[in-house]
Structure 1
Amino acid sequence: MSVSTALPEWPPALTPEQHSRLILLSSTYALSHGFTLLPPSSRQPPTSAIPAPLSLLPTPFPRELYELAVSLQPIYNALYARITLDWDFLDRVMGGSVSKVDEFQGELWRGWKSIRDDLVQPLQLGLFRSDYLLHQDQSQGTSEKGDNIGIKQVEFNTIAASFGALSQRAGEMHRYLAKATNGYYSISPHLSEISNFPQNEPLKKLAAGLAEGWKAYGNEKAVVLFVVQDGERNVFDQKWLEYELLESHDIPVIRHTFSELSSLAQIEPSTKNLLLPSPLEPSLPSKEVAVIYYRSAYTPTDYPTSSEWDTRLLLEKSKAIKCPSMALQLAGAKKIQQVLCEPGVLEDFLLNKKRPDVGLENKITQEDVDRLRLTWIGLWPMDNSALGKEAYQLALNESERFVLKPQREGGGNNIYRENIPPYLKELEKEKREQGEPEKKEAFILMELIEPPKNVQNWLVKGGENKARKADVVSELGVYGVSLFGGSEIQTFNSTAGTLLRTKGRESDEGGVAIGISSIDSPLLVD
C-alpha cells in the first residue's frame, strides 16, 4: 500500500528569536518532565541528568500510513506468539546453520532446548515493537499530489523494546510547545491543528501490559523484576515504567543486574517460585517474583561469562512469567523475519485454524495477511539454497541496493552497500570446523528501504543548547503487548502506542543514547 500524500516542505522558517525560545522551552520541559538520560560519565547515585536527544518540531508523517502501522500491530502480536509456541519451527530455523555459526544465537537456542521440557510456566509476556521506515517507490513514478510513499518494516523487536516512556514524553512536549506558542508561532497550518499531534501513551500501556502478567500470575504480594544492564544511561525510561506500575497498579518493582542475580536468585524446589532476598533487609522473607522483564540479555556483552548464562537458565526454569522467554527472544531473530517471507510460511502461521488462539479469536483474514506483506521489503537467506545463491550474487554485484544483517539487537551491527563484498570475502577466509556451515549463513540480506528525501528538522543533541538542521530519516516503532500460552486465562493482545526516532540522513545506523537519533513524535499529514 502506498499513498500519494505530499510531505510538506520542512521545517517551516523560524526567526532566530523564535528558534532560541523553542530551544529554551523544549530543554526546560524535558528536564522538568523526566524526558532525560544520564550523562555519559554519570556518578552513582546520579546527581545530574541531560535532556534526551530531541527534535525541535514534530516530523511530518502520512496519517494513512501511521494508522496502517498501528492497525497491523495485533496481527504481528499474534504472529510472533504463534511462532514462539511452534518449537519445531524454531528448531528448524534457529537450530540449523544459524546456531552453528552464530555463537550468541547458538548459546541461546541450545540453552533453551536443554531446559524446555522442564518449564513450569506456560504463560509468556511480550512487550513488542515493530519498526518501519517510509519508503519512496521510484518504480511507480509520481502522482499529481506527490511521490508514492509506503511503509516497510525494518525489524520486529521481542526483547528490551525501549523508549516507550520517553516517546510519550516527546509527544507531550511537542503538544506543549504547540499550545504554548500559538501553534509554533503560526509558522505552518499543520502545526496549528492539535488533532495532527496523535495521542500517544506507550508508558501507560506498556506498564498495563506488565500489570496483566502480574495479575495472571496470581499472587498479590509478588513483585516485578527488571533485569538491567550495568551503567544504564537510559534509566529514566525504565524508571517511569517502575513508577507507573507502583502508582497506577500498586505493583512494586525490584531492579537487578545479571551479576547481582547470580548470587541472589533462588528457586523454591517444590513450587518453582523465584525468590529474591533483600540485601538491604536480610531478616525479611524473600520476595516472590511474578514477572521477569528483561531490559538486558539481548547482546553478547550482557553475557561476559558462563555465570550469566547459568543465571538466565535458572530464571527461565522458575514459575515467574518471562518477558520475554528464551523462545520468544529467539522468535525475534532476523533469520525468522527472513524465513517468514518464504512462500506459504506467513499464511500457515496466520490462517491455519489449528494454530492456537492468541488474542484475535482466529479472525485474521487473507486481507490482513496481504496488508502485512505489503509492509515487507526484499529479504534473502545467505545459505547455499537457490535463494541464497541469488542473494550472494546480488550482494557482490548490486551491493549498493542492500544491507547485510547479523542476528543482533541494539544497532551498530549491520554492513551496508559497498562494504558488503569485502566483508563477505573476509568471512570466506575464516577457518571452519569440518561440517560447519559457512560463516555468511549467520546473516540475512535485506533490500535497502529508501525514505523520502528533502525532509529536514532541527535536532538537539542531549546536553547541548543548540540545534542542528539536518536532512532526516524517521523510523516509526509501534508497540504491542501480548500475554499468551495459558489455557486457563484469557489471552491479552493489544497495541501500546508508538515511537518516532529521527536521525540525520548521513548516518546508516541509529542510537539515541550516543546522540545519533533523536526521540521525536509524528505530525500527521493528509
Structure 2
Amino acid sequence: MSAEFDFSQWPPALSKTQLDALTLYSTTYALSHGLLYLPLIKPQPPIPSAAIHAPLSLFPSPFPRKLFDLARRIQRTYDTLYARIAMDEDFLDEIMGAETGVGKVDDFIGQLWKGWKQLRDDGLVQPLQLGLFRSDYLLHAPPNESISLKQVEFNTISVSFGALSQRTAELHRYLLNSTQYYNASSSLKADNFPPNETIAGLAGGLAAGHRAYNVEGARILFVVQHDERNVFDQRWLEYELLEKHTIRVIRQTFEELAHSAIVDPKTSVLHVKCSTDLHPSGLIEISTVYYRSGYMPNEYPTTSHYTTRFLLERSRAIKCPSIALQLAGGKKIQEVLTQPGILERFLSDEKKYGKDIFQEHKISELRASFMGMWGLDTGNDLLNPDTEAIKSGKEGYGVLKARELASSLVLKPQREGGGNNVYKEDIPAFLDSLPPKERQAWIAMELIVPPEGAGNYLVRAGSTGSESQNALKTEVVSELGIFGWALFGGSGTAVEEKEAGWLIRTKGKDSNEGGVATGFSVLDSVLLVD
C-alpha cells in the first residue's frame, strides 16, 4: 500500500448536522432495503411484526486494493484445499477423530466424528458434498513492517452475513451517490467502492448442489436455529433461489426435523413431512441440506439432536456442509496446515490429483497468509503430541511457549460463532485451569496487529427511537471475509468452485471478539485505497 494513506485520519471529519443526516439516511435506507434483524425478543413470535436495522457503519472502511485483490484471488485455492481435506478421511480421522485426534478430548467434535465414522461403516450413499465458505482476514501492520494480509480463520459451516453485506455495500454506495459524503475525503469516489454480488454468488452455490441432485420438484432444506434473529440474511438467499433459479426452500429447526424428517430405507431419499394443505402428498423431497445451525454444542442439547443430524447425513440429499467438511473447518486443521509439507499434500500431489492448477507461488501465497500457530499438546516436534507431559500433568512445549508469549497470543478451541477465545493477559490463568487432557482441543495463534488509529461511526438500533439515531465514533478494527463455494466428491477428485463475494465486519478496537450476531461487530463495506 502507498505510504500516502493514513489510517489514523479515518473517518473524515463531519459536522454534527452532516453526521445526523448520514445517520438518518443510513437507518432509513437499511429499513427500506432489508438490511434488517428481528428485535431481541424471546421467544420470537411465529409471525414477526417488527424489525430493526442491522448494526452498521456510516463510512466504508479503507482496505489496500492489492491486498483485497489478493484475498479474492486465493479464495479459489482455499476452496479447493478444504474440499480436498474433506475428502481425505484418513487425515480427518488422524487430526479430528475420537481415537487419535481432537475428538478424544472434545465431546462435541467426538460425537460428530463417531456418528460420521458409523455412517461410513454403514455406507454413505451421497458422495457429493457442497461447501459455502468464508475465509476471514485482518490487515497485519506491526511497527516497521509492510502491511500484509493474515487469515483469522476459514469457516465451513453456516457462513453468514453474505446477503446483508451486499446490502451494506449498496447502502454505502447510496450514501456516496446521494450526499457525496459531503466531499469529506478524496478517497470517497465510485471507483473505490467495489461491487459485491454475494447473494447471487452464494445462491449460485446452493443451486449447483440442487442441480447435481437433479430431481424435479425437490427443494432445498434450510436447517435453522430456534429464535433466529438473523432471518433476513437467510431470506435473501431464499428469494434469489426462487426468482433466479426456480428453486423452492423449506425451513426447519432440529426440533422440527426430529418429527418431520424421513429417510426412505430403500432409496435413502430424504423427505420432510408437512401438511397436505401445503403440499399435495404431505411429503417434500430434499435435494440439498443447508445448515444455518448445528455448529455449536448447545445446539445439540439431547441425543435426539445428534440422531437427527446423523439421519440427514445418512440420506441421499447433498449436505452443505457434510460432517466431514464441518470437521475440516476445525481450528486444529488450520494449525496443522501451517506445518511443513501439509499444504503440498493437498495442492501438489500430481499422483493423486493429476497435473494441478496450483503452482508453487499459489501455495506460497496461502502460506504467507498464515500467522504462527501451534497446538497446546505439542512437544518440540510440532507434528507429535507430547503424550508423556499430558499423562504426567507436566507442561509440554506448547503450553510453556503459550505462557512465555501470552501477551501476543490468542488461544482458540474448536468452536464457531464468536465469544470462545482466550486473549493475552487472560491466558496464564486459563492455562492454570485447563486440564492437561484437554490441551489437544486448543491451539495458540499469534495475534494479528491491525493498523493503528483507524476509526468509524458505528450505528446500532436501540430499544427506543432516540437510541437508534446515535452514531458512535470509535477506533476500530475491520475484518475482511471472502466467500466461496465448492461442489465436490462424486467419482473422482474434481472440485467445481467459485469465489462468491465479500464482507467487512468492524468492531471497536477494545473488543477482542468479532461476531455481528453475538453483538461485537457491525456490518461494513470496503473502500479501496492505494
What's the TM-score, normalizing by structure 1? 0.93
| Contact 1:3/1:149 (<8 A) preserved | no
Say yes or no: does 1:126 pair with 2:122. Answer: no
Partner of 2:351, secondary structure, is coil
The C-alpha deviation readout for 1:208-241, integer Å capped at 9, x for no partner, is: 1100110011112100000000000000000111
In 2 relative to 1, CA 3–17 (structure 1 residues): closer, same or farther, beyond 3 Å? closer
Equivalent residue for 2:177?
A: 179
1:326 aligns with 2:323: yes
Q: 2:522 and 2:104 mapped to 1: Cα distance?
A: 37
Does 2:264 correspond to 1:268? yes
1:450 aligns with 2:449: yes
Distance 1:286 1:258 in 2: 17
> Contact 2:142 / 2:450 at 8 angstroms: preserved in 1?
no
- How much does 1:466 deviate? 0.6
SS in 2 for 1:438: helix
Return the alpha-carbon distance in structure 2 between the equivalents of residues 342 and 5 of structure 1: 37
Partner of 1:434: none
Confirm or deny that 1:212 pairs with 2:230: no
Equivalent residues in 2 for 1:119-268, closer than 5 Å: 119-138=124-143, 141=144, 148-181=146-179, 183-191=180-188, 193-268=189-264
**Following the alignment from structure 2 to structure 1, what is the Cα–Cα distance between the partners of residues 276 and 21?**
46
Partner Cα separation in structure 2 for residue 135 and residue 490 of structure 1? 34
Secondary structure, aligned partner of 2:152: strand
SS in 2 for 1:166: helix
Q: Distance in 2 between matches of 1:522 and 1:402?
A: 27
1:402 aligns with 2:401: no
Greater mean deviation of Cα atoms: 2-11 or 210-219: 2-11
CA 186–442 in structure 1, closer or farther in 2 if over 3 Å, else same: same
Distance between the aligned counterparts of 1:5 and 1:167, measured in 2?
28
Deviations, residues 149-202 of structure 1 (Å, cap 9, x unaligned): 111100000000000000000000000000001x211111111x2010000011
| 2:420 maps to which of 409, 413, 418 | 413
Query: Aligned AA for 2:140?
Result: H
CA distance in 1, matches of 2:216, 2:197: 26
Is the partner of 1:355 in helix, strand or coil? helix
What's the counterpart of residue 364 of structure 1?
358
Q: Counterparts of 1:391 and 1:3 in 2: how far apart (Å)?
A: 38
Map residues 11-90 of structure 1 onto 2, 5 A cutoff: 11-41=11-41, 42-90=44-92
Cα distance in 1 for partners of 2:370, 2:486 equals 22
Q: Counterpart in 1 of 2:391?
A: none
**2-structure distance, mates of 1:455, 1:280:** 56
Cα distance between partner residues in 2 of 1:188 and 1:375: 31
Letter in 2 for 1:383: D
- With normalisation by structure 2, the TM-score equals 0.93
Given that residues 462 and 515 in structure 1 are in contact (C-alpha distance below 8 angstroms), is that contact kept between their aligned partners in structure 2?
no
**Quick one: which of 369, 372, 394 aligns to 1:375?**
369
Name 2:504's counterpart in structure 1: 500
- Distance in structure 2 (CA, Å) of the matches to 1:158 and 1:150: 24
In 1, distance between residues paired with 2:251 and 2:494? 29
Question: In the alignment, what sits opposite 1:312?
Answer: 309
Letter of the structure 1 residue corresponding to residue 397 of structure 2: E
- Give, in whole Å, the separation in 1 of the partners of 2:339 and 2:106: 22
Matching residue's letter, 1:427: L
Which position in structure 1 is the counterpart of 2:389? none
Question: What does 1:380-399 correspond to in 2, within 5 Å?
Answer: 380-386=374-380, 387=382, 389-399=396-406
Structure 1: 5+ residue runs without aligned partners?
Answer: 143-147, 429-436
Shift of residue 514 of structure 1? 4.0
**For the Cα contact (< 8 Å) 1:7–1:60, is it kept in 2?**
no
**Which SS does the other structure have where 1:354 is aligned?**
helix
CA contact (8 A) 1:54 1:462 kept: no
Q: Is the 8 A contact 2:481 2:503 kept in 1?
A: yes
Amino acid at match of 1:297: G
Determine whether 1:293 maps to 2:290. yes
Shifted more, 496-505 versus 348-357: the winner is: 348-357
Looking at structure 2, the residues matched to 58 and 302 of structure 1 have their Cα atoms a distance apart, in angstroms, of 34
- Give the RMSD, CA atoms, in angstroms: 1.6
Counterpart CA distance in 1 for 2:72 and 2:134 is 11
Contact kept in structure 1, 2:83 and 2:495, CA below 8 Å: no
One-letter identity of the residue aligned with 1:75? T
- The amino acid that maps onto 1:38 is L
Deviation at 1:277, TM superposition (A): 1.8
Structure 1's 244 and 292: CA in aligned 2 closer, same or farther, altered over 3 A? same
- After superposition, the C-alpha distances for 1:85-127 in whole angstroms (9 at most, x for unaligned) are 1000001101124111101011111110111131101110000
Count of residue pairs brought into register by the alignment: 505
- Tell me the amino acid that sits aligned with residue 365 of structure 2: R
Which amino acid letter does the alignment assign opposite residue 285 of structure 2? E
Contact kept, 8 Å, 1:461 with 1:515, in 2: the verdict is no
Cα distance in 2 for partners of 1:362, 1:490 equals 11
Q: How many Å apart are 1:338 and its aligned residue? A: 0.5
Give the whole-Å Cα distance in 1 for the aligned partners of 2:458 and 2:352.
Answer: 46
State the 1:467 CA deviation. 0.6
Distance in 1 (alpha carbons) for counterparts of 2:213 and 2:517: 34
Equivalent-residue separation in structure 1 for 2:529 and 2:258 (angstroms): 50
CA contact (8 A) 2:276 2:282 kept: no
Which amino acid counterpart does residue 174 of structure 1 have in structure 2? H
Aligned-pair CA distance for 1:515: 3.1
| Other-structure match for 2:347 | 350
Percent identity for Structure 1 against Structure 2: 53
C-alpha separation between the residues in 2 aligned to 1:441 and 1:108? 17
**Equivalent residue for 2:469, pick from 465, 469, 477:** 465
In the alignment, the residues of structure 2 paired with residue 472 and residue 68 of structure 1 have an alpha-carbon distance, to the nearest angstrom, of 23
- With over 3 angstroms needed to count, the CA separation of the structure-2 counterparts of 1:489 and 1:99, relative to structure 1, is closer
**What residue in structure 2 maps to residue 432 of structure 1?**
none
User: What is the match of residue 338 of structure 1?
Assistant: 335
- Stretches of structure 2 that go unaligned for 5 or more consecutive residues are 387-395, 463-467
